[in-house]
Homo-oligomer: A and B are copies of this chain.
Amino acid sequence: MRRTLDFLLLNWLAAEALTTRPRYAEHSRETFASTLDTCERIAAEQFAPYARQVDVDEPRLEGDAVILPPGAQKSARAYVDSGMLAAAQDWEDGGLQLPCVVQMAANAFFWKAGIGLGGGGLLTAANANLLMAHGTKTQQDVFARNEFAGRWFGTMCLSEPQAGSSLSDLITRAVPDGESFEQDPLGPRYRLFGNKMWISNGDHELTENIVHLVLARTPGPDGGTVPGTRGLSLFIVPKRLVDTAGNLTGERNDVAVAGLNHKLGYRGIPNTLLNFGEGRYRVRGGAGAIGYLVGRPGEGLRCMFHMMNEARIAVGMSAAAIGYAGYEASLAYARERRQGRPMGPAGKDPATPQVPIIQHADVKRMLLAQKAYVDGSLALGLYCARLVDDQRTGDAATAAEAAALLEVLTPVAKSWPSRWCLEANSLAIQIHGGYGYTRDFPVEQLWRDNRLNMIHEGTHGIQGLDLLGRKVLANGGRDFKALLDKFESTAARACEVPELARHGLALRGVSEGLEVATREAWRDGEPAAVLANATPYLEAFGHVVIAWIWLDLAYAAHLQLRSPDRLHAVPGLRGVIQTAGFFYDFELPQAQTWLAPVAARNPASRVMQDDWF
């Protein structure tokens, strides 16, 4: 994976150019490389050895404690020690002031080595980042900094048993805690009551405390309930109460683990049902989980979604990394495993020795498809991370363009890797034959682990609705147009290169097809009729985006092949161009078949009746 990341970061995305910006001035090509070196090494030494252990030895509830196997502890400590929790923070806050694109690339090593390991570090970082953006100075000092230091870990508590994707139906309540509730130095103090479902890292013994960020419904100005998402506010609810110096007060907050979900994969991270305020741990004289308001009442969802682009890009990147793990495993297997013989003009000669299966075209096809999926996904994820950097540290025009592209690309960066790197993992199993179906090889676990990514952080269906229902329409379609312009400039460049011109024309064709289908779908269309085909639209959009990425990569490889001071070895560069061609011939044509029903507002799903099933 390192070779791929180096090509993407240094060559394709010109990450080194970021060091000309003030925020990254202390960085250099060497500091980026050393970050990758360190993370690659720690992942290999402190993550990979425990990947199977946390799968086989699932989290279990003992009394009111969630117990994880030893590997979970070790990898969590190793992740904290790597400094990656605070990688994006300022130097003076103990951070590394790393660009997002380097941080994502470095994290990919951990995700590849063991997705359920490292204590779910990204969740803690996201939690703390949110507090840095919306919390008070005291909340940042007390909670965020202890999270960045790895002393406490964090969670995000959104879903409830009756409301997964539908956040407007959350019913967890928060009520002011006493007359003087506004005087608490940690923030306006409330008592929370309700049940939260699907809480990753909701309980564990990895750290001395856990910082829950909880969405709950606060009373409106008239004391009544505000319906919908506008009634939601955000709270810090520590498992153990703390003082303003960050010391534990010795009080257990009223947050109880009501159960563990036994998952198909991704088992290193315990997934819990949490009860807030059921009175199991009465605290300061009463039931109710004590929580401190973050930001203003009613703005909980806005605060919570602040980091959503990054979180969704991270999900896509982690799906890509799991896909990559399977690709590497099956490539190694295909090079070692001998079976069968090539077909000669006179058939096969059983007297000759068997050959490594990588010599069979169908095995190469399965490896090429994996490479197209996983490298394409990594590239898209890093491209988006680079946009995050541009949005934060680029000049005004750069930042504006980056923001526009990010809006449209984020649903794809989350959903496409989640779907197609899962398919890559299935192909990795297939290359292993019967062995791939057993626990003697890692690929079956990777396939199970990766299945989660189409579900969490906004399901696949939700991403489609977001894309077709909001993102391509936003700003009068200008964000979408910015992306189409990107397609065109890549296509134009490619058309100048004989080897790539065919693909340049194909990209122009599907780009126009995408634009036309989008316009046709919304022409006099009522939303319900248009959005019935949001998922096929998402699939098509994703394939077009990845085709664009692959052509851009092939162009970069082409330039490198011709460059006198070439950075990369020739075989790898040929592989990029070959894989791009594979994607254009074997994968991209599907996009148009998915777009046809979108453009026609095909009513098949809408018209279907319950009793016809």
Interface residues, chain A, with chain B CB atoms under 8 Å away: 159, 162-166, 168-169, 197-198, 227-229, 261-265, 331, 335, 338-343, 345, 348, 350-351, 354, 358-359, 361-365, 367-368, 371, 426, 429-430, 433-434, 436-440, 444, 447-448, 451-452, 454-456, 459-461, 464-465, 526-528, 531-536, 571-572, 574-575, 578, 581-582, 585-586, 589-590, 592-593, 596-597, 602, 604-613
Quick check: B451 and A426 within 8 Å, CB to CB? yes
Q: Quickly give the copy total for this chain.
A: 2
- The residues of B that contact A602 with a CB separation of less than 8 Å are 585-586
Quick check: B434 and A613 within 8 Å, CB to CB? no
A533 to B430 alpha-carbon distance, docked (Å)? 16
Q: A364-B608, A434-B456, A571-B609 are in contact. List 11 more A-B contacts (CB 8 A).
A: A159-B434, A227-B351, A265-B437, A331-B613, A361-B528, A361-B531, A361-B533, A365-B604, A433-B459, A585-B602, A590-B590
Quick check: B264 and A571 within 8 Å, CB to CB? no
A601 to B473 alpha-carbon distance, docked (Å)? 41
Quick check: A612 and B430 within 8 Å, CB to CB? no
Quick check: B438 and A574 within 8 Å, CB to CB? no
Quick check: B365 and A575 within 8 Å, CB to CB? no
Q: Who on chain B is nearest to A444 by CB?
A: B264
- The residues of B that contact A169 with a CB separation of less than 8 Å are 339, 350, 354
Quick check: B362 and A461 within 8 Å, CB to CB? yes
Quick check: B365 and A532 within 8 Å, CB to CB? yes
A166 to B343 alpha-carbon distance, docked (Å)? 13
Given A339-B163, A433-B164, residue A364 in contact with residue B596 (CB < 8 A): no
A526 to B344 alpha-carbon distance, docked (Å)? 9
Q: Who on chain B is nearest to A612 by CB?
A: B575
A535 to B365 alpha-carbon distance, docked (Å)? 9
- The residues of B that contact A345 with a CB separation of less than 8 Å are 526
Quick check: B166 and A354 within 8 Å, CB to CB? yes
A105 to B34 alpha-carbon distance, docked (Å)? 62
Given A365-B532, A585-B597, residue A343 in contact with residue B433 (CB < 8 A): no
Within the complex, which residue of B166, B436, B596, B604 is in contact with A455, where a contact is CB–CB below 8 Å?
A: B436
A500 to chain B, nearest CB (A): 15
Q: Who on chain B is nearest to A590 by CB?
A: B593
- The residues of B that contact A339 with a CB separation of less than 8 Å are 162-166, 169
